């Protein structure tokens, strides 16, 4: 069955595309590195938009917190720019959140790789003892 797209989904998609460009071109704070917008969730009443972001090549938690402060302080500015590019009566209030899913995924992938290599090493050692 085809999934129904609600207005909030369409607004979220448009906001994700526009915010990616606006943050890159308009936010000039040197404390902010490269930002990836992973997802935007807009409430059903279109009043709040949660923007989930990650930072390219950034692992330092204090730098991540600083970058999140920069984005949340620029939320009003970005909302005003969105109002010019997206034709809506009211633009949702922006709330930026750090998305840890990619970091967790990389950590889990590293653990899996480590377990597989350890298993292979253990298997190779047991095979050589049998000879």
Average pLDDT, the chain: 87
Neighbours of 95 (CB within 10 A): 14
Note the pLDDT of residue 1.
45
Backbone angles phi, psi at 123, to 5 degrees: -65, -40
Asked if residues 64 and 98 have their Cβ atoms less than 8 Å apart, the reply is: yes
In this predicted structure, the answer to whether residue 131 has a pLDDT above a threshold of 60 is: no
Start-to-end Cα distance in the chain? 57
The model's confidence at residue 43, banded by pLDDT at 50, 70 and 90, is very high
pLDDT digits 0-9 by tens, 57-71: 887 889 999 999 999
Dihedral of the alpha carbons of 12, 36, 25, 64, in degrees to the nearest 10:
120
104 or 24, which is more confident: 24
pTM of the model: 0.76
In this predicted structure, the answer to whether residue 4 has a pLDDT above a threshold of 80 is: no
Note the pLDDT of residue 122.
79
pLDDT digits 0-9 by tens, 75-129: 999 999 999 998 888 899 999 999 988 777 877 888 898 888 888 887 877 766 6
């Amino acid at each position: 069955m085809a999934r129904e797209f609600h207005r909030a989904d369409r607004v979220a998609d448009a906001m994700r595309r526009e915010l990616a460009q606006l943050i890159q071109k308009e936010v000039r704070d040197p404390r902010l590195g490269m930002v990836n917008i992973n997802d935007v969730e807009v409430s059903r009443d279109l009043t709040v938009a949660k923007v989930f972001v990650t930072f390219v090549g950034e692992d330092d938690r204090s730098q991540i917190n600083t970058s999140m402060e920069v984005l949340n302080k620029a939320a009003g500015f970005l909302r005003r720019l969105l109002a010019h590019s997206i034709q809506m009566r009211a633009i949702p209030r922006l709330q930026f959140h750090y998305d840890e899913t990619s970091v967790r995924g990389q950590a889990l992938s590293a653990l899996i790789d480590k377990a597989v290599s350890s298993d292979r090493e253990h298997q190779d050692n047991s095979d050589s003892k049998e000879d």
